[in-house]
Structure formats: structure tokens, C-alpha cells
Structure 1
Amino acid sequence: MPLPRFLRLPPDRQAAILAVARAQFAEQGPDAASYNKIIEAAGISKTAAYHYFDGKGDLLDTVLDDVRARLLGALGAWREVDTAEEFWAALRAGSARLVAHLEDHPHDLALATSALSRPEDPQAVDWVAAVVSNGQRVRVIRTDVAAELLVRATAAVLRELDGWALAGHPAGAAEWSLLAGLWGPR
């Protein structure tokens, strides 16, 4: 989590610093990226940098949180649908938006696996909960299992599917069938 001084910077300045750091972490790798080079490329002094972040690890955490937020933004809010066909179409459309974002933002792609493997984010959990709730309403998702367990299991499968896709394996019918199997009738 960045220090309060960073959060008081104008949003465009915050975004610029994070963009430089995201590029460095993506291109060099989180371990190899140099905090000093990131600071220099962002045009801030070392003193200022330590007023914004506790160090390289704190900056990396902030960048990964930002990448996850960017991915969720690309995915978009879940919009309620009324039929099973619309439900699956909405899931595939969200996946397509996410893939398009990653194709257009290679730094996000390079850091996506790290960003998605971080502890759950309430916004991501809310998105999955909305999917599960809507899926239950349109009878795509079973109702004989506690909703909270279905949300957690769905989130885990989605994380693994994301990792699979990010490793260069296209998501096809077999991959989507994992969700259908999890959600289907007993």
C-alpha cells in the first residue's frame, strides 16, 4: 500500500509514476527491476520516492494492485442477464474484453499472473458473486451448495483459467466446461 503522500499526488501524477514502474517491472521482471532506475525514469528524487513508498516491494504491491484494477476495469461490471444463453454469452464477452485489453497492454499482460495471484480483492469477489447470483437465477448454477462456497470455487477456477490462458493456451469449450461442471446439477 502506498504511503499517504503518494495518495495526495494528483491522479495524473500517480498514474505516470505507476506507468513507469509497471513498464520497468514488466520488462525487467519484479526481482530484477531496479528501484533506483524506476525512480529516475519517473523523474522523482530518492527522498520523494521514500515518501511515497516504503521501498521497491511496496511499489511493486501498488503496481500489482493497479494492474488488477485495470484488468477488472477491462472485464467490466457484471450485467444481469435473463437467460442461460445470455449468461454464457456475457461470460465469453467479458473474457474477450479482458483478452483484448491484455493484447493492447503488454505490460499488464506481463504482470497479470502476479497481479491475479495476490490476495482476493473485494471488487473481484463482488464480480464473481454477481455472476454466481445471476447464474443461479437463470438456472445455470446449482443452488444446492452454499453461495459463498460457489463464489470461492468459481474464483479459484477463473484464476486458474486466466493463468492457463496467460501461459498461451486459448480457452476453448473444454476449459469453459470446467465452470459448467462446477456449476451444473449434482
Structure 2
Amino acid sequence: MSEQVRRGRPGYDRDRILAVAVVVFNEQGYDATSVAHLADRLGVSKAALYHHFDSKEELLAVALERALGGLEAVLAAPDAIDGPVSDRLAAVLRGAVHVLVAELPYVTLLLRVRGNSDVERAALERRRAFDQQVTALVRSAQAEGAIRDDVDARVATRLVFGMVNSLVEWYRPSGPERAGQVADDVLTVALEGLRTR
């Protein structure tokens, strides 16, 4: 017996299904979205969806990996590892803005997870690890006298990333602000406000 060719709706490969699922998760919330909702939005059967992803949880895991993998890559980039610590911190902030802009729906989803499942808890743990590494960079910059030390490093990190993460609420790729300019503006507001006099 020859193997049957699985057919889905034309144009719906794994990446496209993921992109649509992330939009629906962001609109309705992950918990409130069923596989039936996703299949309806895509105009495919649930079986066609399961051809590409084993479960709704796998869709979430792949989506969150896209956001987290991008952020973790920023910390591993050469300009975040070598050089003066203030330059490394600036590289991380600039890189985080670029990841957020490039992966806007995926980072939006990451920022909305609450830890209601194993997949979400693992993502939150990775986010905490990212924050801790950035906080360590802030502490090092404070120790070197590159930025002011009268603000707790953890608080400074949260405030700066609160600003960066707010981009998911207002930044639109079709708008007038380009990613590079937004990154420059974030660095100016964040680091000029922290610099020693």
C-alpha cells in the first residue's frame, strides 16, 4: 500500500501555522484558545493542524523558543561578551530591542505567559535567567563606575526592560519608527539616566 500524501490548505506550512497561532494566542489568550479555534482561523481541519504540530502545547513551546532563543542569542553575541562592560550592556539592550521588533508577536506572547503549564513555567525560568545575566552586567558596569550605583541593579534592570518590553504595546513595524532608531532612543533614555556625572 502506497503512503498517502497529506494535504492541507495551500500556503499553510509549519511556519505559517505557527504565525497564525501566535496571533490567535495573543488575541484570545493561550488558555482560552482551543485547537478548534486555531483550525477555524486557518480554515483547515484539526487533523491538518496535527500533521504539523502534535499539540497546542507544542505550538506554544515553539513560539516561545523563537522569542527566548533570540534574547539568549543577544547575550551570547561577541559584542555582549567582549569589551568594556558599558559597551556590552549597550549591546545587550540594543540587541533586545532588535529581537523584540523582529519577533514582535512572539515576544508579546512571551510577555503574557503566566506559568499555568510546564511549557510556560520553563519559559518564565529562562526569562528570569536572562534578567539575572543582564542584572550582572548592570552590577559590573556600576562596579567599574560606568553607570551610577545609587540605583539597585535589579531595579534598574527591571525599569529598563519595562521600557523595552513596552514596545509590544505601541511599536508597529509599519509605523515611522525604525528598529535602529528605537534602539538608539532606548539607550539614550536608559543609559544617560544611569550614567555617573
CA distance in 2, matches of 1:96, 1:149: 19
Q: Tell me the residue number matched to 1:71.
A: 70
- Checking the alignment, whether the CA contact within 8 Å between 1:136 and 1:142 is kept in structure 2 is yes
The offset of 1:143, in angstroms, is: 1.0
Equivalent pair of 1:87/1:135 in contact (CA under 8 Å) = no
How far is 1:151 from its partner? 2.3
1:33-48 aligned at under 5 Å gives the runs 35-36=35-36, 37=39, 40-43=48-51
Tell me if the contact between 2:64 and 2:106 (Cα under 8 Å) persists in the aligned partners: no
CA deviation string 1:70-99 (max 9, x = no partner): 222442434153264x34663476258637
Report the alpha carbon displacement of residue 177 of structure 1 after superposing the two structures with TM.
1.7
1:11-50 counterparts in 2 under 5 A? 19=15, 22-26=18-22, 29-30=24-25, 31=27, 35-36=35-36, 37=39, 40-43=48-51, 49=55
2:140 alignment partner in structure 1: 134
Is 1:123 the counterpart of 2:118? The answer is: no
Q: What is the percentage of aligned positions where both structures have the same residue?
A: 18
Moved more, 29-38 or 154-163: 29-38
Q: Secondary structure at the match of 2:108?
A: helix
One-letter code aligned to 1:176: L
CA–CA separation in structure 2 for the residues paired with 1:117 and 1:66: 14
Distance 1:111 1:151 in 2: 21
Aligned-partner Cα distance in 2 for 1:89–1:138: 15
- Structure 1 pair 91–75 and aligned structure 2 pair: CA distance change class (3 A): closer
Q: What letter corresponds to residue 94 of structure 1 in structure 2?
A: G
With over 3 angstroms needed to count, the CA separation of the structure-2 counterparts of 1:135 and 1:159, relative to structure 1, is farther
| Equivalent pairs, count | 153
The root-mean-square deviation of aligned C-alpha atoms, in Å, is 3.9
Instruction: After the TM superposition, list the runs of 4 or more consecutive aligned residues in structure 1 that deviate by more than 6 angstroms.
Output: none
The 1:69–1:133 alpha-carbon spacing in structure 2 relative to 1, beyond 3 Å, is same
Q: Which has the larger radius of gyration?
A: 2
Cα distance in 1 for partners of 2:48, 2:113 equals 27
* Contact 2:147/2:194 (<8 A) preserved: yes
One-letter identity of the residue aligned with 1:142: R
